[in-house]
Amino acid sequence: MKSTVEKLNTALSNLSPWDGLREVATLFPQGVVFSTSLGQEDQVLTQIIATGGLHVHIFTLDTGRLFPETLDLLARTEAKYGKRIQIFYPESTDVESLVAAQGINGFYDSPANRKSCCNIRKVAPLKRALKSQKVWVTGLRANQNQNRSQMNKVEWDEGNQIIKYNPLLDWSFEEVLTYIETHKIPYNPLHDKGFISIGCAPCTRAIGPDEDPRAGRWWWESSSKECGLHTK
């Protein structure tokens, strides 16, 4: 698999997102999935997949704690592109046990509690969504944080046993915004209020103009600002 990933990385590293997605969809028919969090980068990829008629299945994770604006954007996106986005939810019994043990907002109490919440609400549903798939497409960009700056366009995700493709890895934030404006892509209105990276409502705040793009996520703790979905 290491050899396959290296060959794919070489083949796709200089391709545009449009050509790269078309290539992986051809190489892995019915085996390519895209996980969207409905952020700006993911909205770009949704537009490319939907308007390009690419055979890439789109899904999202509803943690049960999302902003109303995020759920509204999901509906608007489906309506605009006439394409259903599959939703994966956490197991209800796991959430009930978590809340019984920690309280409804126990994730504020410690990094361990927060990671447990992320694991139940996000990581476990993601594993279900990726099961038996071949390629996982993401909207990660290299300049979002230090961890992501070390990534390649194509990698092997050991935790999920899947090839991971990041077609927007070398895009700047300005390129993302320009593409959204040019193609009139729907986006979350919270972005206009200083929310750059949007996750669960209790764990996301607006940031100032000089703060890191991920500073608004889990702002009460010192961490790599990752929930466990994207780690090397």
Which positions are annotated as active-site residues? 227
Buried-state track 189-212, b at ≥16 Cβ within 10 A, e below 16: ebbeeebbbbbbeebbeebeeeee
Q: How far apart are CA 149 and CA 223, in angstroms?
A: 16
Burial class (CB in 10 A: 0-12, 13-18, 19+), 20: buried
**Pairing mode, if any, of strands 135-137 and 86-88?**
unpaired
Which residue carries 């980068």 as its tokens? 41
Dihedral pair phi/psi, residue 168, rounded to 5°: -100, 15
Q: How far apart are CA 165 and CA 135, in angstroms?
A: 7
SS3 (DSSP) at 226 = coil
Q: How far apart are CA 172 and CA 170, in angstroms?
A: 7
